[in-house]
């Protein structure tokens, strides 16, 4: 699972940061969280192809989070897309999609399936689920929790040996979930496999003040991608406009005991985001500030 930060700016773009868009590759599938203006061009600058995007999750309807949709859709069409495209977002997503998918002299020749979703709803995409949770912004907005299904438990070699299973093909059969017979006794996989282990979890905050709901939802996540529009000397302004400071994001990450915190949605007032990284690391050391086209490989986090 690989994250590519296509746009990491907040509100307005800047010469160095496009507006919000985060691509998540899982095998041959790709999801996109938010799609600010210019996302199609960021794809072109990256090694990714926007033709691989299957599902798009929009957090809310401020322009910097969704105005890249019409151009992306038109360019997908121009590039010969035939595959369905799924778009999820808060109430209004279906109406907005109907409007933006046919702007100007354009009709898409592929299906665009939009759906309004509510906090608490879970979308099953096969390889993963995406759950919407309420976020605390100035307009209706969602955060998203991406989770893989639980992975098989660990194979307990010591236990298998105790039961007399010899190393070799019988180990493989048990690991594949099949029972085996050793000295006339049937041994089921459950006897030698540990409990299922949670799949990887990545949480994308969208625009939000720090919330308890996000802490709960992000608990133990491999990666929390949290907005950090401003630094903590400007917290009043951040909260007034429904945003978080880098310190806020770090406190959420710490409380949720995530693996890595990645800060994004950085205001264009920062030429250098080092101040944000520094203040977050005081609270949560494993923090990085995203930059445009940064990639991050999400590895399974072995929990105690």
Binding to its own copies by residue 294, rule CB under 8 A?
A: no
| The one among 18, 206, 210, 259 contacting its own copies by CB under 8 A | 18
Three-state DSSP state, 233: helix
| The one among 51, 91, 103, 182 contacting its own copies by CB under 8 A | 103
| The one among 14, 97, 208, 245 contacting its own copies by CB under 8 A | 14
| The one among 3, 26, 34, 38 contacting its own copies by CB under 8 A | 38
DSSP H helix total and E strand total for the chain: 11, 18
How far apart are the C-alpha atoms of 295 and 277, rounded to whole Å? 17
Q: What are the two backbone dihedrals, phi and then psi, of residue 114, each rounded to the nearest 5 degrees?
A: -105, 150
Q: CB-wise, 36 or 210, nearer to its own copies? A: 36
Three-state DSSP state, 21: strand
Binding to its own copies by residue 170, rule CB under 8 A?
A: no
C-alpha of 186 from chain center: 43
Q: CB-wise, 205 or 267, nearer to its own copies? A: 267
Please list every residue from 46 through 75 that binds its own copies, using CB under 8 A. 60-64, 66-68, 70-71, 74-75
Closest CA relative to residue 209, chosen from 249, 253, 264, 166: 249
Instruction: Please count the residues of the chain.
Output: 304
User: Segment contacting its own copies (CB under 8 A): 32-40, 114-122, 160-168, 275-283?
Assistant: 32-40
Binding to its own copies by residue 99, rule CB under 8 A?
A: yes
Closest CA relative to residue 9, chosen from 291, 205, 247, 293: 291
CB 66 within 8 A of CB 89: yes
CB 113 within 8 A of CB 85: yes
Q: CB-wise, 67 or 123, nearer to its own copies? A: 67
Binding to its own copies by residue 15, rule CB under 8 A?
A: yes
User: DSSP letters of 91-119?
Assistant: TTHHHHHHHHTT-SS---SS-EEEEE--T
Please list every residue from 205 through 224 that binds its own copies, using CB under 8 A. none
Binding to its own copies by residue 82, rule CB under 8 A?
A: no
CB 106 within 8 A of CB 119: no
Q: CB-wise, 143 or 287, nearer to its own copies? A: 143
Respond yes or no: is residue 29 known to be catalytic: no
How far apart are the C-alpha atoms of 210 and 204, rounded to whole Å? 13
Residue 13 CB, nearest distance to its own copies (Å)?
4
CB 33 within 8 A of CB 132: no
Binding to its own copies by residue 114, rule CB under 8 A?
A: no
Binding to its own copies by residue 244, rule CB under 8 A?
A: no
Residues that bind its own copies in the complex, under the rule CB under 8 A = 11-15, 18, 37-38, 40-41, 44-45, 60-64, 66-68, 70-71, 74-75, 78-79, 92, 96, 99-100, 103-106, 139
Catalytic positions, written as ranges:
64
């Amino acid at each position: 699972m690989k994250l590519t930060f296509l746009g990491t700016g907040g509100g307005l773009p800047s010469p160095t940061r496009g507006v919000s868009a985060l691509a998540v590759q899982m095998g041959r599938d790709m999801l996109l969280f938010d799609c600010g203006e210019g996302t199609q061009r960021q794809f072109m600058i990256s090694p990714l192809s926007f033709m691989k995007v299957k599902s798009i999750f929009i957090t809310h309807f401020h322009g910097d989070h969704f105005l890249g949709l019409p151009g992306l859709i038109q360019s997908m069409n121009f590039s010969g897309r035939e595959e369905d495209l799924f778009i999820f977002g808060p109430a209004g997503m279906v109406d907005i999609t109907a409007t933006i998918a046919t702007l100007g002299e354009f009709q898409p020749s592929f299906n665009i399936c939009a759906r309004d979703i509510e906090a608490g709803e879970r979308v099953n995409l096969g390889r993963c689920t995406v759950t919407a949770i309420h976020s605390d912004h100035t307009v209706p907005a969602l955060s998203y929790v991406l989770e893989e299904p639980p992975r098989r438990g660990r194979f307990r070699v010591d236990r298998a040996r105790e039961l007399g299973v010899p190393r070799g093909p019988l180990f493989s059969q048990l690991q594949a979930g099949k029972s085996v017979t050793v000295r006339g006794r049937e041994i089921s996989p459950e006897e030698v496999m540990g409990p299922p282990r949670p799949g990887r979890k990545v949480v994308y905050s969208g625009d939000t003040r720090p919330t308890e709901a996000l802490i709960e939802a992000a608990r133990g996540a491999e990666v929390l991608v949290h907005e950090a529009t401003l630094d903590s000397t400007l917290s009043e302004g951040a909260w007034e406009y429904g945003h978080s400071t880098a310190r806020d994001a770090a406190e959420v990450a710490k409380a949720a005991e995530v693996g890595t915190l990645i800060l994004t949605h950085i205001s264009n007032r920062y030429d250098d985001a080092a101040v944000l990284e520094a203040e977050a690391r005081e609270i949560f050391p494993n923090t990085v500030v995203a930059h445009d086209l940064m990639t991050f490989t999400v590895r399974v986090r072995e929990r105690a």
